[in-house]
Amino acid sequence: MTPSTERGGRRTRRVTLADVARKARVDKAVVSRVVNNDPLLNIRPETRARVVAALKELDYRPNVAARSLRTARAGTVGLFIPDFANPVYAEIITGAETAAATRGCALMVGSSTVGDGRAQTYLDLLGQGRVDGLLLAGGAITDEEQATLADRALPWLFVNRRGGGGRHVILDDGLAARMAVEHLLELGHRRIAHVGGPTGADTAHRRREGYVEALRAGGLEEDPRLIVGGTYGPGGGAQAVGRLLEAPEPPTAIFVANVSSAIGVLSALRAHGLSVPEEVSVVAVHDLPLAEHLIPPLTTVRMPLRALGARATELLLTVPPDRPVEEVVRDPIELVVRQSTAPPR
Amino acid sequence: MTPSTERGGRRTRRVTLADVARKARVDKAVVSRVVNNDPLLNIRPETRARVVAALKELDYRPNVAARSLRTARAGTVGLFIPDFANPVYAEIITGAETAAATRGCALMVGSSTVGDGRAQTYLDLLGQGRVDGLLLAGGAITDEEQATLADRALPWLFVNRRGGGGRHVILDDGLAARMAVEHLLELGHRRIAHVGGPTGADTAHRRREGYVEALRAGGLEEDPRLIVGGTYGPGGGAQAVGRLLEAPEPPTAIFVANVSSAIGVLSALRAHGLSVPEEVSVVAVHDLPLAEHLIPPLTTVRMPLRALGARATELLLTVPPDRPVEEVVRDPIELVVRQSTAPPR
DNA sequence: CTGAAAGCGCTTACAG
DNA sequence: CTGAAAGCGCTTACAG
């Protein structure tokens, strides 16, 4: 008998290993090994056939809770992000989800928009044994939270930010910044400003370093008045432009640490009557589908965010939790030249 | 002894109910009832105090797998979406996450970007008992998938789209469309075009209906040449504008079914040398932080997407799975007038 | 080549 | 007011 269901999914009695074993006239241990493809199982072909047939006929699906209890493995990876609305995390999630699925694991994503926003609250919700490990992407993790984490006997890994006592996976944000700035230098720009990310954000820190390095490699000295911080959102970008234009000698080009900020940068420049790229060039880190539909289409540096999410998941699941991980994912970083950058006039 | 940990979270022996019971000199059944706040538990204050102290001292955290196995409840809600990169789903997720947490449940979000993209693949990954119910947001669910779903003895609910045999929660997309079009009518527009969503998307269907209704209520007849479909992305919006401008008498205003499309609409209008709002007004459904930073700042209709996600979660967890649910979430829909709409000249 | 048994950590109905 | 026992559904080391 297959379980019957009704509208909305009425819950009927589950099919268990014992049901399958009875039907196939074997012990449930045998069924278990067949289900899990136990390589050590030596079974007669006709017995296996009976088991497989019963499995199929009853539409057996293992009970995750029972399996987890027995094996002490959840088959689930946790991922904690600041905000689902940030498209950067969307890409990381997608990469992590795919990598987890490849290993037969589910992914459980939580954001700090819930409750008081602390990683701790998310941890409490996870309880004990809901996930086998935790990826912590971006955002600010306080020392207290890191201590709590340490108490949980749970493997973790920082993603897109350094930390975790030498357990992190990042991208080469310095290189991304240098590629952006070198592009501006090659176009002939000499007064290149930087709209950075929020103080304390590790990616912001590394992009700013890359900006300074590229300037110096080009024989220029950085000008503190041309470096302004912000948030990683459009509002922060718009505000930053306001401060930038107060400088006595305004820049001819702006390197923006984040594409969302750049949307605000573009609109603020226009509001100040400056045309892009004729009067000011703009280039930003991270590409998005909408970048080519901005006015003007935005030159960006595309980062391998999916690869980052995928690699982090793999490492979390394979590297022993007491071993350090400090990896820079080396998938290609690509300059996407559109119409927001041009030689200075 | 509290469990010791090392870098990366070395796994140490877990604290179980039995450990706590031993320390508090009671049976583990008592500890269990204290942990779960059993209202029927009659316990001497000093006994409770001993239990609470032991709980705290050992930092006890219930094993989720054991509890799930025993109670046949996962304490987790599943949510299946087409794509994490779509900001509309980000809002729904956030609402669902908060509502789930309020009920002590975790949320497990999966997207169709994994594997072959079918809901079925996600269901297989979920296995048996990983979630207590499933929210299916947007996207296309085939009949085959709906049949599979019915076989799973799992309560489900469609979110933001009708379906599921009378199990869905939606917003009043018709009203949103009428508000947008009425705004254009009040400004004096008479040739109002519609850039719709993808064929088969239920929200697209209802927004288009609202558009037609509003036109007729304003004494106008819809013109098929002014109705073009598209995707819910910038590329679709841009293409749609191209087709719209082939009409002998181009529109003076465009109602766009989705804010992401509208980004493409704005850039395509500019590419065709048409200024917004002087020559063409644009209004779109869904508000985003970036809307006010577009060029020009975009007039939108803000939808209560968080409330939708939250309500769907509540209904999934409370309405018996064999009862129909057909709810329209009535939280306020708001017209946000910015600078992309103006009277025709 | 297959079976029987133990036990993962909980909750709950029942006994006293 | 508290304890003892059964059992959720699985996996695995071991027996034969």
Closest-lying nucleotide for A73 based on CA to C1': C8
Alpha-carbon distance values, A312 to A93, B51, B283 (Å):
11, 40, 41
B322/A10 touch (CB, cutoff 8 Å), yes or no: yes
Is the CB of A16 less than 7 A from some atom of nucleic acid strand D?
yes
Q: Which of A96, A98, A52, A100 is nearest to A74 (CA)?
A: A100
B270/A321 touch (CB, cutoff 8 Å), yes or no: no
pLDDT digits (tens, 9 = 90+) for B37-53: 988 888 888 899 999 99
Q: What is the pLDDT of residue A13?
A: 67
Average pLDDT, chain A: 90
To the nearest 10 degrees (0 to 180), the angle between helices B17-24 and B45-58 is 130
B106/A93 touch (CB, cutoff 8 Å), yes or no: no
Q: Scanning the structure block, which residue is given the tokens 């002014």?
A: B226
Three-state secondary-structure class, residue A108: strand
Interface-testing mutation among A293, A316, A317, A340, with chain B (most B C-beta atoms within 10 A): A293
**Measured between beta carbons, which residues in chain B are less than 8 angstroms from residue A64?**
65, 68, 74, 127-130
Q: How far: A41 CA to C1 C1' (Å)?
A: 9
C-alpha dihedral (A330, A83, B292, B311), degrees to nearest 10: 140
Q: How far: A55 CA to D16 C1' (Å)?
A: 27
Contact status, residue B102 vs residue B317, Cβ threshold 8 Å: no
- pLDDT per residue as tens, chain A (345 positions): 333 344 444 445 688 999 999 999 999 999 999 999 988 888 888 899 999 999 999 989 999 999 999 999 999 999 999 999 999 999 999 999 999 999 989 999 999 888 777 777 777 777 778 999 999 998 767 777 777 777 777 899 999 999 777 899 999 999 999 999 999 999 999 999 999 999 889 999 999 999 999 999 999 999 999 999 888 899 999 999 999 998 888 999 999 999 999 999 999 999 999 999 999 999 999 999 999 999 999 999 999 999 999 999 999 999 988 899 999 999 999 999 999 999 998
Three-state secondary-structure class, residue A328: strand
A106/B108 touch (CB, cutoff 8 Å), yes or no: yes
Taking 80 as the threshold, does the pLDDT of residue B9 lie above it?
no
In angstroms, the CA B183 to CA A200 distance is 44
Q: Scanning the structure block, which residue is given the tokens 């309500």?
A: B311
Contact status, residue A95 vs residue B85, Cβ threshold 8 Å: no
Q: Which of A304, A1, A271 is nearest to A159 (CA)?
A: A304
In angstroms, the CA A162 to CA A201 distance is 10
- SS3 percent helix, strand, coil of chain A, rounded to 5, is 45, 15, 40
Q: Which of B132, B121, B118, B131 is nearest to B82 (CA)?
A: B118
Q: What tokens does B313 get?
A: 């979660």
Is the CB of B30 less than 7 A from some atom of nucleic acid strand D?
yes
Q: Using the CB atoms, write b or e for A68-89: b if 16+ within 10 Å.
A: bbeeeebbbbbbbbbbbbbbbb
In angstroms, the CA B103 to CA A98 distance is 29
Give residues 32 to 71 of B whose Cβ lies within 8 Å of A. Answer: 59, 61-66, 68-69
DSSP for A261-311, please give it.
HHHHHHHHHHHTT--TTTT-EEEEES--GGGGGSSSPPEEEE--HHHHHHH
Say how many Å lie between the first and final Cα of chain B, rounded. Answer: 79
Beta strands at A76-81 and A106-111: parallel, antiparallel or unpaired? parallel
> In whole angstroms, how large is the CA radius of gyration of chain A?
26
How many residues are present in chain A? 345
Show which residues sit with Cβ under 7 A of nucleic chain C: A 25-30, 41-44, 47-48, 66, 69-70, 72, 128; B 14, 16-18, 28-29, 32-33, 35-36, 38, 60, 62-63, 66-67, 69-71
**Measured between beta carbons, which residues in chain B are less than 8 angstroms from residue A90?**
83-85, 90
Shortest Cα distance, chain A CAs vs residue B163, angstroms: 11
Taking 80 as the threshold, does the pLDDT of residue B121 lie above it?
no
DSSP for B6-66, please give it.
-TTT---PPP-HHHHHHHHTS-HHHHHHHHTT-TT----HHHHHHHHHHHHHHT---BHHH
Looking at chain B, the whole-number percentage of residues with pLDDT higher than 90 is 75
Q: What tokens does A91 get?
A: 């890409």
In angstroms, the CA A251 to CA A316 distance is 43
Contact status, residue A123 vs residue A149, Cβ threshold 8 Å: yes
- Decide if B81 touches A, using CB distance below 8 A: no
Could you tell me the domains of chain B?
Answer: 17-62 (1.10.260.40), 74-171+306-329 (3.40.50.2300), 173-303 (3.40.50.2300)
To the nearest 10 degrees (0 to 180), the angle between helices B259-271 and B234-244 is 50
Q: What is the pLDDT of residue A302?
A: 98
Contact status, residue B24 vs residue B54, Cβ threshold 8 Å: yes
A128/B63 touch (CB, cutoff 8 Å), yes or no: yes
- Decide if A3 touches B, using CB distance below 8 A: yes
> Could you give the maximum distance between any two Cα atoms of chain A, in Å?
87
Contact status, residue A71 vs residue A32, Cβ threshold 8 Å: no
The residues that bridge with A167 in the sheet, in sequence order, are: A325
Q: Which of A156, A186, A154, A178 is nearest to A168 (CA)?
A: A156
In angstroms, the CA B120 to CA B135 distance is 14
In angstroms, the CA A76 to CA A134 distance is 9
Reading phi first (left if > 0) and then psi (alpha if -120 to 50, else beta), residue A291 is in alpha
Q: What tokens does A51 get?
A: 């088991």
Overall average pLDDT of the B25-31 stretch = 92
Give the type of residue at A188: G
Average pLDDT, chain B: 90
DSSP for B303-345, please give it.
--HHHHHHHHHHHHHHS-TTS-EEEEE-S--EEE--SS-----
Q: How far: A168 CA to D10 C1' (Å)?
A: 35
Q: Which band of pLDDT confidence, cut at 50, 70 and 90, is reported for residue B144? A: confident
Shortest Cα distance, chain A CAs vs residue B42, angstroms: 26
Q: Kindly report the three-state secondary structure assignment for every residue of B233-279.
A: CHHHHHHHHHHHCCCCCCCCEEEECCHHHHHHHHHHHHHCCCCCCCC
C-alpha dihedral (A68, A71, A75, A78), degrees to nearest 10: 80
- Decide if A276 touches B, using CB distance below 8 A: no
Contact status, residue B275 vs residue B304, Cβ threshold 8 Å: no
Q: Which of A181, A197, A184, A336 is nearest to A264 (CA)?
A: A197
How many residues are present in chain B? 345
The size of the A-B interface in CB pairs under 8 A is 266
Q: Scanning the structure block, which residue is given the tokens 């136990």?
A: A38
